[in-house]
Structure 1
Amino acid sequence: MAHPQTDLPPAQTDSDFVQFWNEVLGPKFNRFRHILTGGLTHHSEAVFPKLPVRPGDAVVDVGCGWGDTAMKLARIVGPEGSVTGIDCCDMFLETAQAELAETDLDNVTFLRGDAEVALPEGAFDFAFARFGTMFFANPVAGLRNMRRALRPGGRMVHIVWRDPADNPWLSMAKEVVLRFLPPPGADARTCGPGPFSMADEATTRKMMEIAGYEDITFERIDAPVLVGRNIEDAIAFQLAIGPAGEVFREAGAEAEAKRPQIEAALTEAINRQRREADGIVMPSSSWMISARTPAD
């Protein structure tokens, strides 16, 4: 099977969000990759057997990160299929390219692009995104571009976090940090709407309908996630990434002055969590959202 035409439009000036991912979040995510990919294996194990992907499919992986899901999808579609991984973060793509070179796969292509700006149109049978669409500053535009990237009758699945109450691994630390620091101001630099922006089923369903999808279904996935190999690792992760990390980062000097108190409070909270062989584990919950494009 010939690989689909996957040209992206000429590069445009990066948005503030894309600049923030490259300048601030990329290095932080690289540091905690063992949590952000390895720690989410329970979700992947629950979701991948259910994906409507067939041998020979042309697939786009939006927000592909370090490329692990793109390469996993490439094994499913086989040599007659192809996978195009797209991400806006240069650091992630460099790692993806390096790790792809160590495999026997020749049906994977990684591209630098912003799904909110444009994707190749009408080129794919299946679109996938793992914990990426939640960060769309304009979710309808991003979801619409994913739909336009699909052929008539094409299928898509994206995985997003459910509400904070079902994800204490993200929400608990923020609650602790806010006991010591003020919430971020309206002018704070962020990675986008954040991990819970698509938690509400009714709101997200409406966005997908506006973006042009049909047969939209939501399936709840509950799974444990690794939050750190030990207490120190878990605290460093929480203060670098996610809702608690945003509060801590934006507080600047005040946060550093109060770091000992904050770390003591986080130690107490994290000590109450479950231990497994590979580290500290907490509950998490996501939506697996599936949909189709119109057949004609």
Structure 2
Amino acid sequence: MARFQNTGQPDWDWWSRLWPTPGATLRKLGVESGESVAEVGCGSGYFALPAARIAESESVYAVDLDASLLDELDGLADRQGIDNVVPVHGDARNLTDVLPDPVSTLVVANTFHGVEDQSGFVEQAFRAIEPGGSLIIVNWHDRPRETTTVGTEPRGPPTALRSPPGETEDVVLSAAPFTLDRLVELPPYHYGLVFDR
């Protein structure tokens, strides 16, 4: 199965220019201690590793289709002394089959724009989240790609794949009985939508 479109693992250096403190970003989005987390399309763990620090003893399932990125994440977790990250090699289109248990929080960072069947994915996400849990979607604002630069290079998905918060909200709310909790601006180029199950 192919990866979601335009969701390859970027360089950690430019991620750090956008989010120098990924743990603080996750806390701002509502990730809390003592809650299980899954990150879809985790790559090598830029968000999954700090999520594991926040979750403390709870499991953080790091889901990706690329086994080499999961190996890299596993090595980073070992070097950082993080033992509650659980790499999950599998297709996020089948979340309920891939995850061993429902989670408190499901994070979809910089991936939703590339999901071909967004409604089907949201339905899977709803079933993979515990009642009372949260779905967090971090997305690029719908600005022309040439204006979203990191260093001197345009970054992010093609302009045509970007969607404003209201459009993303409509997709989620029409696919499953989530409720929107809040919109969180994540300068310079992103927003986060937090949905309650």
TM-score by structure 2 length? 0.82
The offset of 1:216, in angstroms, is 4.5
Q: What's 1:108 paired with?
A: 85
Q: Deviations over 1:220-263 (max 9, x none)?
A: 2223xxxxxxxxxxxxxxxxxxxxxxxxxxxxxxxxxxxxxxxx
Which has the higher Rg, Structure 1 or Structure 2? Answer: 1
Task: Summarize the alignment of residues 51-200 of structure 1 with structure 2, pairs less than 5 Å apart.
Answer: 51-79=29-57, 81-119=58-96, 120=99, 123-165=102-144, 168-169=147-148, 194=158, 197-200=161-164
Work out the CA distance in 1 between the residues paired with 2:134 and 2:175: 14
Q: 2:174 aligns with which of 205, 210, 213?
A: 210
Aligned partners of 2:4 and 2:111 also within 8 Å: no
Work out the CA distance in 1 between the residues paired with 2:21 and 2:33: 22
- Structure 2's unaligned 5+ residue stretches are none
The code of the aligned residue for 1:101 comes to D
Work out the CA distance in 2 between the residues paired with 1:167 and 1:286: 15
The offset of 1:121, in angstroms, is 7.2
- Classify 1:20/1:205 alpha carbon distance in 2 versus 1 (closer, same or farther; 3 Å): closer
SS in 2 for 1:116: helix
Count of residues paired in the alignment: 191
- Structure 1's unaligned 5+ residue stretches are 1-13, 175-192, 224-284
Work out the CA distance in 2 between the residues paired with 1:152 and 1:68: 27
Say whether residues 1:286 and 2:190 are aligned partners: yes
Q: Percent identity?
A: 19
TM-score by structure 1 length? 0.56
- Classify 1:45/1:54 alpha carbon distance in 2 versus 1 (closer, same or farther; 3 Å): closer
The code of the aligned residue for 1:289 comes to L
SS in 1 for 2:34: coil
Work out the CA distance in 1 between the residues paired with 2:90 and 2:146: 30
The offset of 1:98, in angstroms, is 1.4
The code of the aligned residue for 1:65 comes to G
SS in 2 for 1:144: helix
RMSD: 3.0
Higher helix share: 1
- Classify 1:49/1:38 alpha carbon distance in 2 versus 1 (closer, same or farther; 3 Å): same
Say whether residues 1:221 and 2:186 are aligned partners: yes
